[in-house]
């Protein structure tokens, strides 16, 4: 199965190989298209391009909001509902915007995620590993880590959080109608998004249930400086 998926992805790469010189001239990371195609075709995760940074001022978002808190790292045009696993659409997007961040549309049949400050997340992973819990992929930036979990509904999440005495506001939940920035995109906080724990090379990605990780994430975030109430992108 892995060999079949690998050959399919290689054919897609070869098909759009002629567009590589365009990417190299723009200085864009040449593997953003590969990453988007891998997510869409191998993992069957719906993706779409992020808005990116302003061409005139690379420190600002290309969207109309001058005070955007996640510059470049959110959907704009196309909108989130356009996310797809169709390799032709994915290739069309990234060959025209080779520097666009890769966004995963979370929820539905796609993974959901829980994100928290990086230091708190590192402590939480130590606790979860010590407890013998099998974790899935973890996406990391300089300031925040996101644990991918099995899809959950907003109703299910609401019931889970209602039972907690306190949920730090630094925890963010990426469920139905949400999105998550994926490697190797440029992070809005600076640097590059990376895999702290990488998905396997084939299409089967293990995802824990949100109930299995939320206690450790709440506890770790509550112990963060400032009580974990400050969002840091």
Tens-place pLDDT, residues 4-28: 555 555 565 555 544 444 444 344 4
What residues contact residue 130 under an 8 Å CB cut-off, 6+ apart? Answer: none
The DSSP line for 104-154 is EEESTTS-EEEEEEHHHHHHHHHHHHHTTPPP--EEE-SSEEEEEE----H
In angstroms, rounded to a whole number, what is the distance separating the alpha carbons of residues 4 and 207?
23
**Preceding amide of 184 cis, omega within 30:** yes
pLDDT, position 188: 86
Q: Does 104 score more than 70 pLDDT?
A: yes
- Window from 45-54, 176-185, 194-203 with minimum mean pLDDT: 194-203
Can you give the pLDDT at residue 61? Answer: 94
* Rounded CA separation 104/174 (Å): 10
pTM metric for this prediction: 0.85
* Rounded (10°) CA dihedral 142, 120, 214, 161: -90
- Tell me the average pLDDT across 199-218: 92
Average pLDDT, the chain: 86
Distance of CA 141 to the CA centre of its chain: 10
Question: Mean pLDDT across the stretch 45-70?
Answer: 92
**pLDDT band for position 223 (50/70/90)?**
confident
Region 136-151: what's the mean pLDDT?
A: 97
Q: What share of the chain is helix, strand, coil (3-state, %, to 5)?
A: 35, 15, 45
The arithmetic mean of pLDDT across residues 119-123, rounded, is 95
Distances (CA, A) of 135 to 111, 115, 210, 214: 13, 14, 11, 12
Q: Between these two residues, 66 and 228, which has the higher pLDDT value?
A: 66
Q: Which helix (H) or strand (E) covers residue 174, if one does?
A: strand 172-174
**Position with higher pLDDT, 82 vs 12:** 82
């Amino acid at each position: 199965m892995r060999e079949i998926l690998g050959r399919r992805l290689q054919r897609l790469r070869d098909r759009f190989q002629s567009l590589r010189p365009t990417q190299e001239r723009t200085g864009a990371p040449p593997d953003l298209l590969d990453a988007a195609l891998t997510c869409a075709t191998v993992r069957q995760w719906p993706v779409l391009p992020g808005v990116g940074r302003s061409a005139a001022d690379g420190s600002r978002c290309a969207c109309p909001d001058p005070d955007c808190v996640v510059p470049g790292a959110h959907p704009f045009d196309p909108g989130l509902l356009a996310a797809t696993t169709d390799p032709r659409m994915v290739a069309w997007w990234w060959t025209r915007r080779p520097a666009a961040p890769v966004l995963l549309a979370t929820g539905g049949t796609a993974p959901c995620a829980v994100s928290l400050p990086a230091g708190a997340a590192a402590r939480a992973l130590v606790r979860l590993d010590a407890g013998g819990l099998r974790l899935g992929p973890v996406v990391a930036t300089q300031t925040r880590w996101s644990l991918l979990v099995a899809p959950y509904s907003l109703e299910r999440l609401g019931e889970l959080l209602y039972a907690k005495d306190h949920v730090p506001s630094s925890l963010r939940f990426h469920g139905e109608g949400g999105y998550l920035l994926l490697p190797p995109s440029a992070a809005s906080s600076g640097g590059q998004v990376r895999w702290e724990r990488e998905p396997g090379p084939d299409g089967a990605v293990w995802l824990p249930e949100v109930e299995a990780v939320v206690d450790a994430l709440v506890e770790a975030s509550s112990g963060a400086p400032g009580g974990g109430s400050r969002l840091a992108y």
